[in-house]
Amino acid sequence: MSDINNRVRKQIMGYIVSQAIAAVCELGVPDKLSNGSRSLPDLATSVGADADALGRFMRVLVAEGLFMEEAAGRFALTEAGELLRVDTPGSLRHLVGLMSKEAYTVWGHSLHSVRTGKESFTEAFGRPYFEWLSDNPSASDEFDRCQAGLVEVRLLPLLNRDWAKTTTVVDIGGGAGTLIETLLGSHPHLRGTVFDLPHVVAESASKFCSADIGDRTTVVGGNFFEEVPQNGDVYVLSQILHDWDDESAGKILGNCRRAISGNGRLLIVEQVLPEVATAHPMALLDLHMLVLLGGRERTATEWRRLLSGHGFTLESITPGPRSSVIESVPA
C-alpha cells in the first residue's frame, strides 16, 4: 500500500520535476557539465546559483536519472541528461522551453478545458495563445527558436522520402523557413515556398539568401484560414493541424485541397496517437494541445476521417523518431 501511496503522491507532484528541469536548464547546468563532472560549489558559482539550493535540485534530478553524483557533492550528466544540452543531436532542450513559462501557467486553468472542451490560455492570459504571442516579441522569438530546433528531428522521415519526381514544395505555416531551408539544402533540384503570416515570414527571404537558396525559394505572407499558394507539387503541413480542433483544421485542409492539383500530394508531419490508452508522451501532448490551444493529437482513424471529409485520401503513414509523415492525395 505504501508503494501505491508513494507512486500517486509522485504523480500529483510531477510538475515539480518538470519545473526543476526547466530551472537547471535555464541556468545552463547541463551545458556546464558537458566536459565532465564538477563539484557542487564550482558548478553553482559557474551558473550563478546558491550552492545549497542547487544541490537540493540536483538531488531530485539525480533520482530522476538525469544526473549522477559520482562522489559526495560532485555531479555529472547521465545519458538521459545529455539530451538537456543545447548542442546535443536530438536535444530536448527546446521542449523544455516550450513546456515551461506560459505553457506551465496555463495548466493552472486546465479545469476550464475539461468543463468546456476549449483552450484555457484565454482564461490565464486574456486572449488566445497566438494572439498573445503577436504582442509579446520576446516570447514569440523564443517560440520560433524552439520550433526551429524541433524541426530538425521532425524532418527525418521527410528527408528520407523519395523527392526525385517533385519540383516544388509548399510549406504551409512554415514559420521562419527552417523546414524549406533544410529540405532544399539536401535536395538541390527542389524549389520551395514558405507560407505563413506576414510578420512571421518577414525575414525568411534574407535567411534563404544567406543559405544560398534564395534563387530557389519564394516567401508568401497570408492566412491559411483564407487561402494558400497554388501550383505546388507537394504541400507540407508540419505540426500545424494539431494546434486546431477538427473544424478549424478542416478549413486549412479545404484551402489546401482547392490549391492543390489533381496529381499533387499533401504531407502532414504529426504524431499519430495509438488507438488505445497509452503512457506515451504524445498522450500528454494531446492534453497540452487542448489546454493551450484547443487543438488535439489524432489517431490514424481520426486522421483518415478528417482527411476524407475535406477532399483527401490517406495513402500511407511513415513513422519517424518524433513524428510520422501522413501522406495523402486528392480524392
List b or e across 120-136, with b for residues whose CB sees 16 or more CB atoms inside 10 angstroms: bbbbbbeeebeebbeee
Beta-bridged to residue 267, according to DSSP, are 236, 327
CA dihedral 168, 174, 179, 183 (to 10 degrees): 0
The C-alpha cell that represents 289 in the structure block:
494541445
Q: Which of 242, 280, 288, 310 is catalytic?
A: 242
> Phi, psi (5° rounding) for residue 87?
-100, 15
Distance, in Å, from the CA atom of 331 to the CA atom of 327, rounded to the nearest integer, reads: 13
Asked if 198 and 226 touch (Cβ cutoff 8 Å), the reply is no
Active site residue 280: no
Beta-bridged to residue 171, according to DSSP, are 194, 236
Of 155, 189, 161, nearest to 175 by C-alpha is: 155
Distance, in Å, from the CA atom of 107 to the CA atom of 118, rounded to the nearest integer, reads: 13
Distance, in Å, from the CA atom of 283 to the CA atom of 272, rounded to the nearest integer, reads: 10
* Residues with catalytic function: 242
